[in-house]
Structure 1
Amino acid sequence: MAFEGLTERLQSAFSKLRRKGKITDSDVRDMMREVRLALLEADVNFTVVKDFVNTVRKRALGSEVLDSLTPTQQVLKIVNEELTNVMGDEAVPLNKAPHIPTIIMMVGLQGAGKTTTAGKLALKLKNEEHARPLMIAGDIYRPAAVDQLVTLGKQIDVPVFEMGTDHDPVDIVKEGLNQAAIQKNDYVIIDTAGRLQIDEKLMNELVRIKELAHPNEILLVVDAMTGQNATEVAKGFNDQLDITGVVLTKLDGDTRGGAALSIRAVTGKPIKFTGQGEKLDQLDVFYPDRMANRILGMGDMLTLIEKAQKDYDAEQANKMAEKMRENSFDFNDFLDQMSQIQNMGPIDDLMKMIPGMANNPQLANMNIGEKDIDHLKAIVYSMTPTERENPDILNPSRRRRIAAGSGRTVQEVNRMIKQFNMSKDMMSKMSKGNFNGMDSMFGKGVQGKLGKMAMHSMVRKTKKNKKKRLKNVKRFKSR
């Protein structure tokens, strides 16, 4: 996941304030020097780093922080707020037309993932808004680009308008829009051609398509792995086309994540979505506050809850919650949970969404990949039904038999059982709302405080969102 290195560097900078009851001007300056280096190493734009550091330093040196009883937490709060501010304060929704169709024009350099993102967005609109999108294959230059979009359309059951590669892209878009008007599609997503770099011919073609289609959205798809170059690409496209938003792709790759912290400040245009992974359902709304929490190691419980609500079987989840409350969670439940969690995405990424988990030393050895999950399942499948239902009876001789049956070592079996007991204890505490005794869950010090801050923030936001939904329901019923 992007930002992993940045998170570790920031945590290191904050940890030096951990044991200080009071902090001085010198402490703040030393910390901000390290923050500055961390941001530059993450490939954040130099001007953005300079402005960010100056703003945080000015606020952190105020008397309300230096004289506070919790100065470290106050500084962390300021850094969190300013990170959020740099990325845009709040999520920005798609611009929608007053009458259908809403037209979305996808632009970007070749290789950024534009065509795949078009398919992801079409699926998202179809699933979440019950919309009827149409995709237009306007990239006639890249080999197999049209075929790729057609194949994606079949996978997600979304129609694709195409005229092959022998027509002018502007004519293709014109006929596609006519087709959308006949079919009364809610959205039209135009996949345009890319280049290896910005050139005049590309821009002229995109300008002609814009003048014809009058898109409500021009979404620039940018590869986050290109670092600061992503910011330059965004600026170039924005100067020519006046883009309305950005989609950052490959945030799950080996990237330092600086683009997410730079694009809004440099272009003034919001990041609207992020793409992580190759699966077509892996396109997420970009929430600046949630991303700031994740960068600071505070987790992202709201996104985790939304993923669970989308991918979890509700009835099964309720049964699991009841077992957690009763502390009767066993290895049969563990198997069910592993299968459902696998549907939500990479385990490592999910763990980092839980406050305090990213750098919790107790969980440092719990990096779980797809193969590791298969190994865990093999261990459980080697248990007898009685052993699965009664984990406490797993004595050394039983563990040796299980290891032999699963093809794993006794050490792996012991480690898995230990992790199972840790998870069971943690879930029991969380299910009972035990937020006062979170030291055992998040640890102590700065990391623990961050986790608790994020957890309490999540609880407040969840309650606020619930009140807002109830208010909207009442308003709807009164119409």
Structure 2
Amino acid sequence: MAFESLSEKLQNVFKNLRSKGRLTEADVKTALKEVKMALLEADVNFKVVKQFINSVTERAIGQDVMTSLTPGQMVIKIVNEEMISLMGSETTQIDLKPANEITVILMAGLQGAGKTTTTAKIAGKLKQKGRKPLLVACDIYRPAAIEQLEINGKKQDVPVFSMGDKNNPVNIAKAAIEHAKTNGFNVVILDTAGRLHVDEDMMQELENIKAAVDVHQTLLVVDAMTGQDAVNVAKTFNERIGIDGVILTKMDGDTRGGAALSIKAVTGKPILYVGMGEKLSDLEQFYPDRMASRILGMGDVLTLIEKAEAQIDEEKAKELNRKLKKAEFGYDDFLDSMSQIKKMGNIGDLLGMIPGVNSAALKNVSLDDSEAQMKRTEAIILSMTPQERANPDLMNPSRKKRIAAGAGVDISEVNKLVKMFDQMKKMMKQFSGQMSGKAAKRGRFRLPF
């Protein structure tokens, strides 16, 4: 999980700060020395770390902090603010021309970073915003690159312009723009070729494309798991061809976080999106404040709400709330709630967005076991009769024994499910009808979990 090690170390540092009450200058400097080591071990650029620690130290040992009632909390607040500043402060969107003009986006990156998949993800995002994107297959070298783009384009319901692998990428790009003009497309996304490492041929080809067509945005896709290598790649690309923003892939993996914390400071270019999984929907807008909050173990409730709003059917949620109020909530509804939560993504990532659930706590949760448990739960519920699913009060020992046999599990698993169902029902009833701060402003429902 992204930032797990860094997050755990920083949370331990802050725990010690909170426990001290009054702080001395030496306490602050000792804590920040540990923060410095944690950042370096997370593969954050050493110049970036030095500047970051200097900025925090200058603010943290000021009179206002040292004499405050909660100096530990004040130091944590400063670290949070400086970390947000480090990653760009403000959320940056892809800059698009007016809808009546064609925006040309050039996607660049090394082979293996997930560029082609990310290109399709970007097309899907822009289509959701009401744009009419056209994907363009300019990678004529990698076997199956064109086919991969066509498959992903079809999944996103976005057309792909291709001239095969025998034409020059510059000519393909020029022809694609003419095609877009005559067919009403207002965003042209060029999926260019990558290499295993930065080389002259790749850079020259990108320069040739940019010289031949009016590229409005050049976006670089880098693999977050490569740490400082990703930062160095971004720096090289920016110096050679000029980039407008970065997309970090594989942020759901065991990445140390150095790339996310260094790229903006080193290149001056913002991170636009982060890839959080293999599915075409697993591309999240990058919010510096939310990412800082995740790293510092403060959760990310806003992203959790947005994921839920995007994946959970509002009418179903309202119906569940109605059933809860009338005591009609059954095992079918329970199963439906679980399936909607599964749509939101990896359980570990969702847990990490909940304030108070830190990386140390997550170590005690086996995510594989959680997924397996959900499958067992589904099997148990599907082994019940329609009457049992609709009326949980019918459950008795003989029914449980039959259900366990039908699901191929021990009866203790059925007992656990019955207990979990009762607890979840109480919890959901407690929250039913309430709204979170953000959802309330939008006039939306309270999510059913």
Could you tell me which residue of structure 1 aligns to residue 111 of structure 2?
A: 110
Q: TM-score, normalised by structure 1?
A: 0.84
The answer to whether 1:171 aligns with 2:171 is yes
What TM-score do you get using the length of structure 2 for normalisation? 0.90
* Cα offsets for 1:420-439 (capped at 9, x unmatched): 455445444444659xxxxx
CA distance in 1 between partners of 2:197 and 2:133 (Å): 29
Cα distance, 1:183 vs. partner? 0.8
Output one character per residue of 1:315-351: Cα deviation in whole Å (capped at 9) or x when no partner: 0112234456778754332211111112221122112
Residue 370 of structure 1 aligns with an amino acid whose one-letter code is: E
**1:255 and 2:255 are equivalent in the alignment:** yes
Residues 346 and 369 in structure 1, CA contact (< 8 A), matched pair in contact too: no
Equivalence for 2:188: 188
Query: Which runs of no fewer than 5 residues in structure 2 stay unpaired?
Result: 444-449
Q: Distance in 1 between matches of 2:362 and 2:131?
A: 45
2:7·2:359 contact (CA, 8 Å) conserved in 1? Answer: no
Q: Is the 8 A contact 1:100 1:184 kept in 2?
A: no
Equivalent runs, 1:198-347 vs 2, <5 Å: 198-322=198-322, 329-347=329-347
User: Any conservation in 1 of the 2:8–2:358 contact (CA below 8 Å)?
Assistant: no
Distance 2:393 2:112 in 1: 53
Q: How does 1:55-66 map to 2 (within 5 A)?
A: 55-66=55-66
Residues 1:24 and 2:24 are matched in the alignment: yes
Aligned to 1:455: none
Q: Secondary structure at the match of 1:408?
A: coil
Change (3 A) 1:34 1:91: same
Distance 1:158 1:80 in 2: 39
**SS at the partner of 1:16?**
helix
Change over 3 Å in CA distance of 1:195–1:361 after alignment to 2: closer
Classify the secondary structure of the residue corresponding to 1:219.
Answer: strand
Deviations 1:192-251 (A, max 9, x none): 011111111111110110112221110000011111100000000000111000000111
In the alignment, the residues of structure 2 paired with residue 414 and residue 267 of structure 1 have an alpha-carbon distance, to the nearest angstrom, of 56
Task: Indicate the percent of aligned positions where both proteins have the same amino acid.
Answer: 53
- Separation of aligned partners in 1, 2:419 and 2:3: 30
Q: C-alpha root-mean-square deviation of aligned residues, in Å?
A: 2.7
CA distance in structure 2 between the aligned counterparts of 1:370 and 1:120, rounded to whole angstroms: 25
For the structure 1 residues 190 and 64, does the alpha-carbon distance in structure 2 shift closer, same or farther, using more than 3 Å as the test? Answer: same
Describe the shift of the 1:380–1:197 C-alpha distance in structure 2 as closer, same or farther (beyond 3 A).
same
Q: CA deviation at 1:362?
A: 10
2-structure distance, mates of 1:119, 1:255? 23
**Paired residues of 2:6 and 2:295 also in contact (CA < 8 A):** yes
Instruction: Give the corresponding residue for 1:380.
Output: 381
- The count of aligned residue pairs is 442
Whole-Å Cα distance in 2 between the matches of residues 26 and 398 of structure 1?
65
Which residues of structure 1 form unaligned runs of 5+? 435-457, 468-479
Q: Which residue of 2 aligns with 1:352?
A: 352
Distance 1:330 1:6, change over 3 A: farther
SS at match of 2:17: coil
Alignment-mate amino acid for residue 372 of structure 1: Q
Q: How far did 1:124 drift? A: 1.4
Per-residue deviation at 1:261? Answer: 0.6
Equivalent residues of 1:103, 1:216 under 8 A apart: yes
| Residue aligned with 2:18, SS | coil
CA contact (8 A) 2:6 2:42 kept: yes
Larger mean Cα displacement after TM superposition, 150-159 or 255-264: 150-159
CA contact (8 A) 2:321 2:433 kept: no
Alignment of 1:63-78 (within 5 A): 63-78=63-78
